[in-house]
Structure 1
Amino acid sequence: MKQALDCSLLKGHQNRDKEEELSHPGLSTPRVAVTTLGCKVNSFESALITEALNKQALTPGQDGRSKVHIINTCTVTHEADRQARQAVRRVVRENPDAVVIVTGCYAQLKPQECASIPGVDLVVGNDKKLELDALLPSLLDGNLPSIMVGDPDEGTSLPQRLLSGFENKSRAFLQVQQGCDQGCTFCVIHRARGRSQSQPCQQVLEQARRLVENGFRELVVCGVDLGSYGSDLRGESGSGLSTLLTKLNAMEGDFRLRLSSLDPVHLNAEVVDLIAGSERLCPHVHLSIQSASTLILKRMKRRYDRDLLYERVAYLYKKIPDVVISADLMAGFPTETESDFQQTLEAVRDLGLAYPHVFSFSARSGTPAARIPNQVVVDERKRRARLLRAAGEEVRKRLLRSRVGASRQVIIEGGGHAPAGYQRARTAEYLPVFVPLGGEKSGSWMNVQISGVKDQTLIGVAAD
């Protein structure tokens, strides 16, 4: 820990690494930067943190440091933990005079590990991360303990203020739910995020209107366990996810809605029919599948079996033939036999999982899965993960070829990672498209005709 603060200890899909730096021109204030790792909920929370700090006139601390850097971490796997530590060390190395704050799920579960990294000033749990704007003045004055991690089940960690938008983003995340009550045997996120909590519908609608009014053409409805939205809102009539989506769908404005990850059990006919009957809800579904073996799903403590998974996806294709499905899959869960694995591999092809997000099983300390005998060896987990990704690539190539000649309305994302003369865009199905550079701004609409495929990305030409 840095000596300048002299603080005592207080008990308390693949990661993204994105950084935003905020400053206050004309004011003698610290510059604030935020690095975000992990999920869409983290991205939403980071945007809230940066916006709140950007509005606050701070003065440099007693030691004169004039920069604050916050790392919002993930802990979904051991690899996520490693990337979090790596990100913190990089921030400390590149910003030796900055006040460094670590928050997020890794900080919530491993606060002492975070605090032990040389250069870290403050570790803040998920229960207090949205209060950083209020905590920062005391931190800069050296008046805070170095670890502030409490119980995420106490009170609420849902946003209590509206977010205006996202810097340099072509789409906006709309958090509607927090936490998880399921407790899958391999997962620690329910411990890091606490019980399932839903944002009241009226506040969700107000947040959505704010984002649309500020020019965002796509809202991604997200949560830690999105399908459980409304389960805790017993005082509200018709408070489930389908009711919320119906109300969002009825809003005025020129925008589209996309769902983030859903458990297959929540992909019911009501939700599918809503997507099928709406021009606003995107024909793209991301399913948290993990395995297609009923035995392994039972040992994972999932809420569905193979038959239900196939039944739900069959209905999805029946109602929305052109739907694109991405999915979370896990390779090498303890006791997974070759036969179990082949069922999952088969499902990638059977269900048309064009974008599988594959994890090798990661034994998380304190979880039931970590104690199961007959752990699959690491090399075998990696082999199975490679095969799942390869199967997904085959499905994806066929899918992309099938779109050549089609007309689509896309949202411009910008020029990053695009060939010279092109910029990236995204269809409603979440398919990537290279379109010619023009006068269109990031986040704007463009009508295109798909003319080909390059590097697993569609090529589009402007259409009327």
Structure 2
Amino acid sequence: MTEGRDDRGVAQTGSNARKVFIKTYGCQMNVYDSQRMGDALGSDGYQPTETMEDADLILLNTCHIREKAAEKIYSELGRIRLLKAERANEGRELRVGVAGCVAQAEGHEIIARAPAVDLVIGPQTYHRLPQALAKVARGERVVDIDHAVEDKFDHLPASQAGQIRGRGVAAFLTVQEGCDKFCTFCVVPYTRGAEVSRPLAQILEEARRLVAAGVREITLLGQNVNAWESSDAQGRAIGLGGLVRQLAEIPNLLRLRYTTSHPRDMDDALIAAHRDLPALMPYLHLPVQSGSDRILKAMNRRHTAADYLRLLDRIRAARPDIALSGDFIVGFPGETDADFEDTLTLIREVGYASAFSFKYSPRPGTPGATMEGHVDEGVKDERLQHLQALLRDQQAAFARAQVGRRMPVLIEKHGRHPGQMIGRSPFLIPVVLPASAGAIGAVAEVRIESVRPNSLMAEGAEAMPEAMRLRA
């Protein structure tokens, strides 16, 4: 039987156990935060549910990076309000919370605009969820968004073994939060705060728990992950390069990745780790945003296009097979046709295996929002389509170049069809492979035989009926 607690800490069992539905928006760090919110609530007697209609508590873990993020959350809250009213008519209670970066940015305005919301909690304070919900049970509407009060990393809820085992073969692990770079387009310094690094010992402890529960690949997360720093057991300063070296020594941890990095914090020690550590995958997400020095300066990126290209030369010298990913913003205030062409030139020179690209959209409170020279939306659309076509061509070319190669694939799950498994290549591309290649959690050495729009097909993977192949 499942077990929970009522608001006085009294154990509940069976069908009376409370259930929580967490909807996650945005980045991988929000995925990790949602898992840790589930950990905190699990210790308070809540069980996860996959359906909103089945929940006693609904949490929206929000992202503020995309355009109109807040409006989308208010629209979702409007639908939840109707569900809450239905519950009330049935004499049942439904509690509603908003967490994450929109919660941090909007704060008390959410409480004012959305009567259905009982709780607003920021990304640095979700470890206090049980205490906040106890206040809600006493009739309060709670806003807890003060990330300056304490260091969240000192108070993260401990993951229970059963909860970790539900996370699969690959897992995220947050090691750093916040950013001190203050790019003029970005809200992260305002919603996540200043850069904070999680202590080395704490990271190693969680990594070992993950591996003991069956995780074989860990992706280290941070808004500016390669700014991570701590001290080792001897009190010596250590950066991300040193951290991945220590993680690579954990038995049965087969693969390591990290995201997202800033070019200015890519140091020699981290580049050397890419050279020396087989567990550190040959894939690097290193955003540049623009290929125009004039726009990079306006963005406060504090590097030039030439700086970025020289850095990539050093990285490729250390790890020649590395696959590169990037971020691009088109239509930043003041961007001319010539500036945009500089971005296309940089993309052609680099050759990306994958990338993310967006139209610039102003974020309230950021310097970019008040800059002159905002670009017409039609021009942004046209530029984005042109840029994405070039990136798609590069991504397709990279995938085609894998045909005929042998590579290790970490098997993550069963495929859609009998006899299929799905894994990940070292370059983060999904690979469809035959079930005979191995079990979930194993690394299979396979030969890539063909390319699908969003995946690679390993030799023998298409051994299925013709009708199934046509539907695949």
Q: Give the TM-score category using the shorter length.
A: 0.7 to 0.9
Decide whether aligned partners of structure 1 residues 446 and 78 sit closer, same or farther in structure 2, where only a CA change above 3 A counts: same
Decide whether aligned partners of structure 1 residues 440 and 131 sit closer, same or farther in structure 2, where only a CA change above 3 A counts: farther
Give the C-alpha shift of residue 278 in structure 1. 1.0
Is the Cα–Cα contact under 8 Å of residues 88 and 102 in structure 1 kept in the other structure?
no
Q: Which residue in the other structure is 1:458 paired with?
A: 456
Secondary structure in 1 matching 2:287 = strand
Q: Name the structure where helix makes up a greater proportion of residues.
A: 2
Give the C-alpha shift of residue 225 in structure 1. 1.2
Question: Scaled by the length of structure 2, what TM-score is found?
Answer: 0.84
Alpha-carbon separation, structure 1, partners of 2:98 and 2:198: 25
Give the C-alpha shift of residue 373 in structure 1. 0.7
Alpha-carbon separation, structure 2, partners of 1:84 and 1:325: 33
Aligned-residue RMSD, C-alpha: 2.7
Matched, 1:100 2:100: no
Q: Which residue in the other structure is 2:24 paired with?
A: 36
Decide whether aligned partners of structure 1 residues 440 and 391 sit closer, same or farther in structure 2, where only a CA change above 3 A counts: same
Q: Which residue in the other structure is 1:445 paired with?
A: 443
Q: Which residue in the other structure is 1:197 paired with?
A: 196
Give the C-alpha shift of residue 437 in structure 1. 4.4
Is the Cα–Cα contact under 8 Å of residues 179 and 196 in structure 1 kept in the other structure?
yes
Give the C-alpha shift of residue 461 in structure 1. 2.8
Matched, 1:148 2:144: yes
Q: How does 1:180-329 map onto structure 2 within 5 Å?
A: 180-230=179-229, 236-329=235-328
Give the C-alpha shift of residue 245 in structure 1. 1.9
Q: Which residue in the other structure is 2:62 paired with?
A: 73
Q: Is there any run of 5+ residues in structure 2 with no aligned partner, and where? A: 1-11, 48-53, 88-93, 462-472
Decide whether aligned partners of structure 1 residues 459 and 25 sit closer, same or farther in structure 2, where only a CA change above 3 A counts: farther
Q: Which residue in the other structure is 1:436 paired with?
A: 434
Matched, 1:157 2:156: no
Matched, 1:120 2:117: yes
Give the C-alpha shift of residue 89 in structure 1. 3.9
Secondary structure in 1 matching 2:459 = strand
Alpha-carbon separation, structure 2, partners of 1:124 and 1:389: 36
Alpha-carbon separation, structure 1, partners of 2:80 and 2:143: 19
Give the C-alpha shift of residue 254 in structure 1. 3.7
Give the C-alpha shift of residue 421 in structure 1. 5.3
Q: Which residue in the other structure is 1:85 paired with?
A: 74
Decide whether aligned partners of structure 1 residues 32 and 318 sit closer, same or farther in structure 2, where only a CA change above 3 A counts: same
Matched, 1:110 2:109: no
Higher RCO structure, 1 or 2 (CA under 8 Å, sep 6+): 1
Is the Cα–Cα contact under 8 Å of residues 37 and 84 in structure 1 kept in the other structure?
no
Alpha-carbon separation, structure 1, partners of 2:210 and 2:249: 15
Give the C-alpha shift of residue 311 in structure 1. 0.4
Is the Cα–Cα contact under 8 Å of residues 292 and 340 in structure 2 kept in the other structure?
yes
Decide whether aligned partners of structure 1 residues 288 and 148 sit closer, same or farther in structure 2, where only a CA change above 3 A counts: same
Is the Cα–Cα contact under 8 Å of residues 448 and 462 in structure 1 kept in the other structure?
no
How many residues end up aligned between the 2 structures? Answer: 432
Alpha-carbon separation, structure 2, partners of 1:277 and 1:392: 30
Alpha-carbon separation, structure 1, partners of 2:175 and 2:191: 18
Q: Is there any run of 5+ residues in structure 1 with no aligned partner, and where? A: 1-23, 60-64
Fraction of identical pairs, as percent: 29
Q: Which residue in the other structure is 1:10 paired with?
A: none
Question: Scaled by the length of structure 1, what TM-score is found?
Answer: 0.86
Is the Cα–Cα contact under 8 Å of residues 177 and 229 in structure 1 kept in the other structure?
yes
Decide whether aligned partners of structure 1 residues 236 and 72 sit closer, same or farther in structure 2, where only a CA change above 3 A counts: farther
Secondary structure in 2 matching 1:239 = strand
CA deviation profile, 1:393-421 (whole Å, cap 9, x unmatched): 111111111111111221233357x5675
Is the Cα–Cα contact under 8 Å of residues 425 and 435 in structure 1 kept in the other structure?
yes
Give the C-alpha shift of residue 330 in structure 1. 0.6
What is the identity, as a one-letter code, of the residue corresponding to 1:147? V
